Structure 1
Amino acid sequence: MSNAQVLIIGGGAMGVSLMYHLTKAGWSDVVLVEKNDLTHGSTWHAAGLCTHFAHNPTIQELRATSVRLYRDILPEETGQNCGFHRSGAMRITSNPDRMDEFRHVAGLSDFTGYPLEVLTPERIAELHPLAKLDGLLGGIYEPDDGHVDPTLATNAMAQVATRNGAKVSRYNAVQSIRREGDKWIVETAKETFRATHIVNAAGTWGWEIGHMMGLNIPSVPVLHQYLVTDAVPEVTERLDAKLPELPMIRDPEESWYVRQERDGLILGPYEKEAQAWSVDGVPPEFGADLMPPDLDRVEHIIEAAMERIPALMNGGVKTVVNGPITFTPDANPLIGPAHGLENAWLLTGSSMGVMEGGGSGWFLAHWMTHGAPPMDALAVDSRRFGSWADRDYRVEKAIECFGLQFGVHYPFEERPAGRGKRVSPLHDLMVERGAVMGAAYGWERPNWFSDKQGDIAHESFRRPNWFPHVAKEVETVTTKAGLADLSVFSKFDITGPEARAFIDGLGANRAPANGRIGLTHVLTPAGGVLSEFTVTMLSDTHAYLTSAAAAEEIDMDQLTAHAKGFDVAVSNRCDEMAVIGLMGPLSRDILSQHTSADLGDGFPWLSAQVIDVAGVQVRALRVSYLGELGWELHMDRTEAEQVFLALETSGKPLGMGYYGAYAANSMRLEKGYRGWGGDLTTERTLHEAGVGMFARAKDRTFTGRDAMLERRDSDDRWDMVLLEIHDPEFDPFYAHSVLQGDEIVGVVTSGAHGHRTGKTLALAYLRDRTARANLTVSILGRKTQATILSDAPFDPENLRLKA
């Protein structure tokens, strides 16, 4: 039996990159096993495109890190070129919404330091003289983009890693994986390994390796074709004239990309009806293999590309590549800890394995080394899908993602495939009352309410069609009362003799008194915010915790790990309990008709009681994310309908209505409340986020304490501010650059129009803490004046909450 500190399963760009970065970080006994040879699977036949275009800063950094690695670092370390061509790239469009998307991504990229150029049709002609301009509105140019030889890049990383002590075992398929004590036992065709850590970097085989680990890996291989032409005369002429390589060009509306390949061109079409392949297991003999060409499936896309790039018609088809690439339900890779397993990690599921591989290996190596990711991980965290992401879901979503590879990514995007996986007991009642549903971690939840059955959101970067409906919901909650289905919350019970001690050591805050509610934040070792829990101490032996829907597996992992050494039991109650929100100035009058509990002085703000409501035992929490008098009512899901209908019966005559997630977002911003996952992330501390009051560090020890305090006192600490945006047309959402003059000093993390105050609001981090005046926010390319608000614009003294 061979020992390993880390055993990486899979020798594609992702796994080899991790091996490279772990050895650079000083890890020893790093072993990589591969069932065939390095790059076999999907890496070897990839087109090698590398880009900086992304809607998320973390995804962008994965891609930018890959470019730096392939272009600069590996050639210097190995003395060999990785075949990287800095050709630049552009995306073109005839769609006005797409132009808004380009402006938004360009604004984000200004902040991240990878500036992209929004193009006019004339500028497109300058950059790509072979493209016809008919019908084009413009585009976006990525000057540092290029393409790389996937095999050269992967082998270069392997060369450096093995030089640093890593071992690669080729043609050595994994046969079984099990846990013995504190080690992983991995049986392969050639030998058995005893490893402290294992990493599923199996790509095309990620689902199968996950199955051996006892995991549900929501990835599906999908067949993708591209064709390589013979010599194209127009390209040959450019080579003879020693002109620069043509930039890659993508037309997302027609769903294709084209790049120069020596004296020819590569055309890659993405059909709308994708072809999933080997969903329940890739054939064991499959390796560096391809499927037969099937150009009939993409003939219409090829014709469209030839209309735009007529030179394509002048080169015959030399090669057709038709092979599998893996897709997750949101097309982002799975990176991070494997849920519920100790020292098990995922680095798989990337449909852009070469593009993101170099950076993904860096990202996970940092996480494994330092106990936290180097950037916010929510977009890639391997725990963002749960057991509800079953076979049908992963197939439907993979097909959807492939077909929308070039889809417009709207700020409040809701895609239709794979819906209805998790529904609350109030779902049908919500729909009957006009709820337009969205999805959150598999749950269906009301986003907003319409007075027209079957209404849908018209997605836009500008003011959406649900704006007036949300205004009406806010008015109802502010003047009367509103009901909401909040069942999507993640919900956990901590029970046992040491429940209070458990909470006291969990995060940055102490446990509240019995019958009281508090917030506690679990920190990373670097002091960033990993989890946010609303903590209700029902007794010394019973704590009830709620958190964001998307945090369910992340938070369960934190609670389970923390429970070691405490005499407590941790129970996931997410599917067992439902939550009804009753908010607004009339909420007390409505609730009092169904309970004998004292809802006045005997039930103050931020307190909790177990009371009887309409004959049902309910955990009633007097807490509100909206800044209004109100209660959250938590109960067994089987009894939620009874409580809801009773409240509705007494509330309707008083003018009570309903509210959804969009109205809640508007109202919480008017209170300046931070949201986990957007405003609160692992990148920033509680003090930087402006909620240092929840950090009780005196005479206490907890993970991240010292790092948090060090950053609190650092000169380069960031500051979160609440901004009023002075623009009657554009509403902010996220990832807009904040400027002082021409200098970029910050970034918006969340925003919305505040209907109670008439103010358009945004929370933003300022990386320059001295930038307090003469600020602007760049929204879709337009600079708009912004003012820092010193207090929450709605009820800053919390009089309504305490009423």
Structure 2
Amino acid sequence: MKTHVRALVVGGGAVGTGIAYHLARAGWDTMLLERDELTSGSTWHAAGLLPLFNMSYATSHIHAYSVEFYKGLEAETGLNPGFSVVGNLRMAQTDDRMDEYALYAATAETVGIPHEWLTPAQIKERYPLVRTEDLKGAILHPTDGYINPADVTMAMAKGARQHGAVIERRWQVDGYEWTGSDWRVSVTKMAEKGGNLVPTEETAIITAEHVVTATGNHAPRTAKLLGIKHPAVVVEHQYIVTEPDPALVEWRKAGNPQHPVLRDADAKWYVREERGGWILGPYEQKAPARFPYGVPDSFRADLFPLDLERIEEEYMSFIHRIPSSETCGLKDDFNGPICYTPDGNPLVGPAPGLRNMWLAEGFSFGITAAGGTGHYLAQMMTEGEAEIDMASLDPKRFGDWVTTEYAMRKNEEAYDHVYVLHHPDEERPAARPLKTAPCYDRMKDRGAQFGCVNGWERPNYFKPGAEADFDLTSRSFRRGKWWQHAVEEATALRETAGLIDATAFTKHMLRGPGAAAFLDWFTTNKLPKVGRINLTYALTEVGTTRTEYTIVRLAEDTFYLVSAGAWQAYDSDFIAKAVNDKVAEFGPMYLSDVTGQTGVFALAGPNSRAILSEVVRDAEPETVLSNKRFPWLSQRRIELLMCPVNAIRVAYTGELGWELHHPMEMQNYLFDRLMEAGEAHGLRLVGARAQNWLRQEKSYRAFGTELGRDATPLEAGLDRFVDLSKEFHGKAAMEKTGIRSKCVTLLVDGPDDADPWGREALYTADGTRIGRLTSGGYSVAFGKSIGMGYVRPDLAAPGTRLKVRMQRALWDAEVTEDSPYDPANARIRADG
């Protein structure tokens, strides 16, 4: 066995072999270790479906790559992966479900995934065994289908070997040690004894520059060995195989093609043909999480006891949809482990806190994702970044506050929700509330309907008189019941004043003699002077946007950094590693995460100065908030009655305003005083949804939507925050990339009952797809829909007429000037 490789992949399921294949194809010296036999984990009992559609842009790309990649494996390797390209028919029993499919289709269009719409009559004509009288319609994805999991894994394994990879079976990893330059991986030879795998006395040390873990059901054990936390935990999944269905057998004998994979999402199941019968895979409620602390040594390619009572409702609905199946007996059944994460998407990318350690864990659709994960993860490892933004799958989207109990409860919920309507405004209730700012109860009493950001409860909008119950009836694919509340909040902030809880912001302090030189190298903009702030960006190795920071310079060598609340662990890991790398070059510096110590209120609107004036205490209270003493884009320590506040004159909404950063323990005191002072000035509590609309009126880019690892700051139109006269990390790569697309703001003449969500494809008038939206919503200033997104550079000029796909129709849209609301910033600079 080799003892030194450039890349070591741990795990021999579909995902691991897909990664090994792509790393070897990229030219890296690669070895794969499997503790048992290839496919012996969840791969062996997977149903092999290849669903293309996904609400996630990154996951849709991964699935689309896999489907095309699998089609070429036989020509390359000589092994047939067992791909049946039969298509995938998603049926809908409700109008709401059809709206969901329209949003799926919008995302699919941006990726280039083909689809077609069918009426109930067309479904019946094509597939007469299917009952259709209670359906609204369906969407067909003709290019996918199902595949044999073992065969495709073996084909990828052979392809990996052909590209030079080594695959070793029956070796278990027992330890990882980082030497400062590579990993020392302790492994033990495993042998079969009495039906169990047991360790032998044969051991070895493998030195690897990079390690990728794709350990499937064993992910909790892997995390423990690495000393990290992540929420990949398995949940039970059942499916059954029927005896042959005589009606189906006759259908095929007559020369008819296979049925597509049939999905009745409202009934919570999929079904496909299998040797004249059917495979039924239900996603029932209350499937339990298993093995949260690790798979027992005695559990190999084993299954759990079947629980048919748990899937009785789904089984009966299957008989209703395909009546001929009622006479079919059960031929086989499976109840096996399938790994989940709280949001249902896998963990793909660098491990938190570690160097050259990569995770590929938590795949609930591992067969579909295996090829694409290998492709894009190999790009990240060998080229510095993938061609698509993989941040939404980054393992660090879940912080180290995630516990085993949290992972179990949320993963069970994710399983429950596979076929629950995925409203883009949904908020799932399991394990909530967990992380709450001190003012949570006060806002709850005022009707706050909360969203969850990095575990923090954050008001989405306020519904006076309502309990904070996640407001399930307000969800919609169009304008939900919350929409009018958000309109009123946005209007109030534009006309009087609004108070927003922004406590979830990620906040770091960086101080020390080397801090200024480091930040000057680390970020794109000029550093602010003491008492001032700036907006700036840290770049990836390939020059795209890695993180957005607001930098507040508190002293010559002391900086307060604010970044997106959803990305706390992601940002903290990134800057901590960079500081550690550069401390010898730039000098001593000390980084601390103060997110949990510092609360934030954003107070904005024409009356915000008047409200603050009532509570500010200063030797010259009449001028402390004036432009002369407290100009736009500056910072001051002020006292608001008994609460010391680090006030920053900036507003994400584009109105006169301040962010009030305060001691967390004083938050309720400050909240009460601001609400009291604001009563006479029309102060209204404002949630995240209204804020999102308002920032789009100002063309303020948001990290995770407009800003990400697939576009440079120059492509995002942020030239004014990039100082090309200095050298900074990623500059040369950014300049080499050039301008492939441009970020624009569009006003949309859309339907009367819907706004874009930021997942829609953009077209020219002649029907050519030229870009996609990354954000969407409603503009109270212009009385119509608004969106932001990326288009070809030649179509980015204000006044360009485009089309946007919403609810299966094309609607007129026009590119506006940047910051269509108050482009001169007169309101945000207003003096008092």
User: Same fold by TM (over 0.5)?
Assistant: yes
Distance (Å, rounded) in 2 between the aligned partners of 1:125 and 1:638: 63
Residue aligning to 2:181:
182
Q: Is residue 503–residue 510 contact of structure 1 (8 Å, CA) maintained in 2?
A: no
Is 1:471 matched with 2:487?
A: yes
Q: Distance in 1 between matches of 2:447 and 2:796?
A: 44
Give me the whole-angstrom Cα distance separating, in 2, the residues matched to 1:42 and 1:760.
45
Alignment of 1:421-432 (within 5 A): 421-432=434-445
Match of 1:705 in 2: 731
Q: Which residue of 2 aligns with 1:341?
A: 354
Task: Read off the aligned partner of 1:219 and give its amino acid letter.
Answer: A
Report SS of the residue matched to 2:509.
strand
Contact 2:520 2:728 in 1 (8 A): no
Cα gap change, 1:622 to 1:322, in 2 (>3 Å):
same
Q: Please tell me whether residue 736 in structure 1 is matched to residue 760 in structure 2.
A: yes
CA contact (8 A) 1:9 1:32 kept: yes
Q: Distance in 1 between matches of 2:541 and 2:706?
A: 19
- 1:760 maps to amino acid: S
| Match in the other structure for 2:616 | 594
Q: 1:511 is matched with which residue: 516, 520, 527?
A: 527
Question: Structure 1 residues 401, 791: closer, same or farther in 2, change over 3 A?
Answer: closer
| Structure 2 counterpart of 1:580, from 581, 588, 601 | 601
Q: Is the 8 A contact 1:131 1:308 kept in 2?
A: yes
Q: Which of 422, 426, 430 in structure 2 is aligned with 1:409?
A: 422
- 8 Å CA contact 1:529–1:686 kept in 2: the answer is yes
CA distance in 1, matches of 2:484, 2:327: 53
Corresponding residue number in structure 2 for 1:749: 774
Give the alignment of 1:367-516 within 5 angstroms. Answer: 367-454=380-467, 456=471, 458-516=474-532
Match of 2:251 in 1: 238
The residue aligned with 1:135 is 134
SS at match of 2:460: strand
Q: How does 1:513-532 map to 2 (within 5 A)?
A: 513-532=529-548
CA contact (8 A) 2:13 2:39 kept: yes
Aligned equivalent of 2:746: 723
Q: Which residue of 2 aligns with 1:565?
A: 582
- Any idea what the Cα deviations from partners look like across 1:69-99, whole Å, max 9, x if unmatched? 2222x11111121111001110101121110
Find out whether 1:800 has 2:799 as its counterpart: no
How far apart in 2 are the matches of 1:322 and 1:135? 30
Verify the 8 A CA contact 1:531 1:551 in the aligned structure 2: no
Q: In structure 2, which of residues 669, 680, 685 is the aligned counterpart of residue 653 of structure 1? A: 680
Equivalence for 1:625: 652
CA distance, structure 2, for counterparts of residue 523 and residue 136 of structure 1: 49
Letter of the 1:124 counterpart = I
Q: Give SS of 1:43's match.
A: helix
- Whether 1:350 aligns to 2:350 is no
Q: Distance in 2 between matches of 1:251 and 1:66?
A: 24
SS in 2 for 1:746: strand
- CA distance in 1 between partners of 2:126 and 2:393 (Å): 33
Q: Which of 240, 260, 267 lines up with 1:247 in the alignment?
A: 260
Q: Determine the C-alpha separation between the residues in 1 that align with 2:282 and 2:565.
A: 36
The aligned counterpart of 1:153 is 152
| Cα contact 2:543–2:731 (8 A) shared by 1 | yes
Cα deviation, residue 791, structure 1: 4.3
The 2-side partners of 1:725 and 1:423 are apart by 36
Structure 2: distance between partners of 1:32 and 1:193: 11
> Is the Cα–Cα contact under 8 Å of residues 230 and 400 in structure 2 kept in the other structure?
no
Q: 1:763 aligns with which of 788, 800, 815?
A: 788
Query: Residue 696 of structure 1 aligns to which amino acid in structure 2?
Result: D
Gaps spanning 5+ residues in structure 1: where? none
- The Cα shift of 1:634 comes to 0.9
Q: TM-score, normalised by structure 2?
A: 0.93
Q: Deviations over 1:102-158 (max 9, x none)?
A: 112222222321121122112212332210112100111010011111111111111
Pairwise mapping of residues 154-233 of structure 1 onto structure 2 (< 5 A)? 154-190=153-189, 191-233=204-246
1:54 corresponds to which letter in structure 2? N
CA contact (8 A) 2:479 2:754 kept: yes
CA distance in 2, matches of 1:798, 1:523: 27
* CA-CA distance at 1:547 after TM superposition: 0.7
User: Deviation digits for residues 475-527 of structure 1, max 9, x if unmatched?
Assistant: 32222222221100000001101221121111221211221111111122222
CA deviation profile, 1:574-620 (whole Å, cap 9, x unmatched): 11111111111222222223221611110000001122222232211
Q: How far apart, CA to CA, are the structure 2 residues paired with 1:709 and 1:22?
A: 28
TM-score (norm 1): 0.97
Distance 2:359 2:677 in 1: 51
CA positional deviation for 1:209: 0.6
Aligned: 1:541 with 2:557: yes
Q: 1:791 to 1:4 in 2, by over 3 A?
A: closer
The residue type equivalent to 2:701 in the other structure is: R
Shift of 1:795: 1.4
Indicate yes or no: 2:12 matched with 1:21: no
User: Residue 114 of structure 2 aligns with which residue?
Assistant: 115
Take 1:462 and 1:613, find their aligned partners in 2: how far apart are those partners?
42
CA contact (8 A) 2:445 2:467 kept: no
Q: Is the 8 A contact 2:762 2:805 kept in 1?
A: yes
Tell me the equivalent position of 2:76.
Answer: 77
SS in 1 for 2:391: coil
**Aligned partner of 1:176: which letter?**
G
1:146 match: secondary structure: coil
Correspondence 1:51-66 to 2 at 5 A: 51-66=51-66
In the TM superposition, structure 1's runs of 4+ consecutive aligned residues that sit over 6 Å from their partners are: none
Secondary structure of the structure 2 residue equivalent to 1:775: strand
Amino acid at match of 2:653: L
Partner deviation per Cα, 1:419-440 (whole Å, 9 max, x = no partner): 2221112211211222111101
Secondary structure at the counterpart of residue 693 of structure 2: helix
Partner residue in 2 for 1:11? 12
Aligned-pair CA distance for 1:292 = 2.9
Unaligned 5+ runs, structure 2:
190-203
Displacement of 1:410 after TM fit? 1.1
Partner AA of 1:33 in structure 2: L
Further displaced range: 767-776 or 679-688 = 767-776
Matched, 1:676 2:700: no
SS of residue paired to 1:769:
helix
CA distance in 2, matches of 1:166, 1:207: 27
Secondary structure in 1 matching 2:443: helix
The letter for the 1-side match of 2:754 is F
Residues 365, 327 of structure 1: alpha-carbon distance in 2 compared, 3 angstrom cutoff: same
Deviations 1:238-283, CA, capped at 9 Å, x for gaps:
3323321111100011111110113222111111111222222211
Of stretches 200-209 and 453-462 in structure 1, the one that deviates more from structure 2 is 453-462
Displacement of 1:771 in angstroms is: 7.2
Q: Please give the root-mean-square deviation of Cα atoms over the aligned residues, in Å.
A: 1.6
Partner Cα separation in structure 1 for residue 376 and residue 299 of structure 2 = 29
| Cα displacement (A) at 1:315 | 2.7
My pick for the range that moved more, 625-634 or 786-795, is 786-795
SS of residue matched to 1:631:
strand
2:307 maps to 1:294? yes
Change (3 A) 1:420 1:373: farther
CA deviation vs aligned residue, 1:662-684 (integer Å, no higher than 9, x gap): 11111111111111101111111
Superposition deviation, residue 759 in structure 1 = 3.3
Q: Deviations over 1:297-349 (max 9, x none)?
A: 21221111011012222332111111110111011110001111111111010
> Using the alignment, how far apart are the partners of 1:470 and 1:222 within structure 2?
37
Whole-angstrom CA distance in 1 between matches of 2:818 and 2:697: 10
Q: Is the 8 A contact 1:388 1:421 kept in 2?
A: no
Cα distance between partner residues in 2 of 1:586 and 1:392 = 45
Q: Aligned partner of 1:694: which letter?
A: F
Amino acid corresponding to residue 153 of structure 2 in structure 1: T
TM superposition shift of 1:565: 2.3
Partners of 2:403 and 2:133 lie apart in 1 by: 44
SS in 1 for 2:638: strand
What is the DSSP-based 3-state SS (H/G/I as helix, E as strand, rest coil) of the residue aligned with 1:50?
Answer: coil
